[in-house]
Each structure stands twice: as C-alpha cells, then as structure tokens.
Structure 1
C-alpha cells in the first residue's frame, strides 16, 4: 500500500486545541512552502510599545516570508487608542519588513475593528468576506512597500 492510498484503519478525530497537531502542521507546511519559494523561510516579527513602568501599551505580531509581510494581530490598550500608537506599531513593522527585503504587506481586520485605520496608512482594500463573523465583514488590505515611506 502506498502513502497515497487510504487505509481502512485511518482514524478521524475532531476536538479543541491540539498543540502537537498545530506544531506538526506548522513544520510540514513550513518545509513545503520553503521548498516552493526557493528557500525563503518564514520569520516571526513582533513590535511592542510599553509605558514608563513597563506595562504593555500595544503590540503587533506578524511574519515575513520572502517578499511578503503579513500582520496577524495589532492591539492598542484602550486608553491609548487614537494617540498614534497603532500607526507607530505599523510603521515600525513596515520598516523591519523592508529591512528584511519585503515589498508587500497584508493585514485583515473585521468591520467592527479598524477598517478606517489601514487606508490612512496607505493600505488599499483588496477584498471582503461578508457575513463573518455574525453579519460583519472580514476586510483584507494590501500595501506595496517598495514605494512606501517607512
């Protein structure tokens, strides 16, 4: 029996968090993607802002892969919103992405989060998924970094 043939003994299991599965899928997809992208590897990127006492004001997590940077999460503490912190986080991530050789950056936000924020930073809406979650929209943005001021 080859690896592509289905086994009668195969078991399907559905559940919640599975750290072992998460790590295995990450390892397998990273290897596949690295080979497909001529050796480009995925690297994490984080940016954080803290106050004078060391408390977190805001942060950003992203990854870079070849010429792409994609933001996973951006959060700013409520008392610091609309004070420029989010812009500082994004600009710092963009600068680091350019330093790493990225020419493009993507981010997605829900319609109840910050869809007006990203266009002010030069991001262009690239698509919407209506109705998720619960009647809202998932809005995808893209920015070409090669012509952006970082």
Structure 2
C-alpha cells in the first residue's frame, strides 16, 4: 500500500469534529460487521429530595451486552448500599433491553472487589495503567428478565 504524497499527518489537541467523524465511520463499520446490532446508552441516578446528586451510573447496551461506563457515589453516602442499588438497576435495565451479559473495567485503586461481590469475574488486566496500577476487566452473565 502506498500513501498519497499530498496527505499529511498531524498531531494536536482533541478535535471534536474528528471524534464525531471517527465515531460515525466506526459505527458504520461495526454495523456492517454485526448486522446493525442495536446500541443505546442510559443512566441511573440517586438524588436527594432537593435534587443534589448522591450517586450515578452511566451504561450502554450493544449486541446483547450491557457495558457499565461510570459508577460513582458521593463520599458521605458510600457504604449505604447506593452503589449496589445503582448496579442492580443497571443490570435489570440491561436485561430488559435484551442483554444476557455485562462488562465493566475498574482500576485496582477503584472497585474491582465491589464488582466481584456482585458476581462479576475477572477476564483480564491491563498492567501498569495508570502508573503502577492495573485496569481490571470483569464479566457477568445476567439472569433473564422476569416477565
């Protein structure tokens, strides 16, 4: 393969237009490879009566898989069960959307043991990221949604 001699390679700051184009191109490629498996994102939140955020979770579904992107609980509310409630709600929503499995990654200084305690099992690690820590990848089979 030869490169077009007029093209040029650049490195710079984050480029929102480039990000949007790459997302569009890769989505089209993935849709062709998977037959257009439906994908969607959703969130789960816990709020005080005044609207103050206690904790939240963001997730996605694609091709029968639930992916947990972010899960956070405010420091003064940790240990009260909100993380578990958020995770269970996401798993139930994933099952409702037809997912039979879930994935998440968590750095060793975050919460891999939390996920293990909820039935997730480790499938791999990225060593040394960030610094001397590790990125732990976890997987769980989801129960079919009760009708």
TM-score range relative to shorter protein: over 0.9
Give the corresponding residue for 2:98: 101
Deviation of 1:11 after TM superposition, in Å, equals 1.6
Task: Work out the number of aligned pairs and report it.
Answer: 146
Deviation of 1:101 after TM superposition, in Å, equals 0.5
Q: 1:22 aligns with which of 10, 19, 24?
A: 19
Give the corresponding residue for 1:127: 124
Which sections of structure 1, spanning at least 5 residues, go unmatched? none
Question: Is the Cα contact below 8 Å between 2:45 and 2:56 reproduced in 1?
Answer: yes
Give the corresponding residue for 1:35: 32
- TM-score after normalising by structure 2: 0.93
| CA distances 1:33-73 after superposition (whole Å, capped 9, x unpaired) | 12211121321121111111101111111111021111111
Question: Is the Cα contact below 8 Å between 1:30 and 1:41 reproduced in 2?
Answer: no
Question: Is the Cα contact below 8 Å between 2:96 and 2:145 reproduced in 1?
Answer: no
> 1:145 & 1:60 partners in 2: Cα distance?
18
Across the aligned residues of Structure 1 and Structure 2, the Cα RMSD in angstroms comes to 1.7
> 1:148 & 1:133 partners in 2: Cα distance?
37
Which moved further from structure 2: 30-39 or 88-97?
Answer: 30-39
Question: Is the Cα contact below 8 Å between 2:59 and 2:66 reproduced in 1?
Answer: yes
Give the corresponding residue for 2:142: 145
- TM-score after normalising by structure 1: 0.91
Question: Is the Cα contact below 8 Å between 1:30 and 1:42 reproduced in 2?
Answer: no
Give the corresponding residue for 2:73: 76
SS for the counterpart of 2:41 is strand
> 2:24 & 2:4 partners in 1: Cα distance?
24
Deviation of 1:110 after TM superposition, in Å, equals 0.3
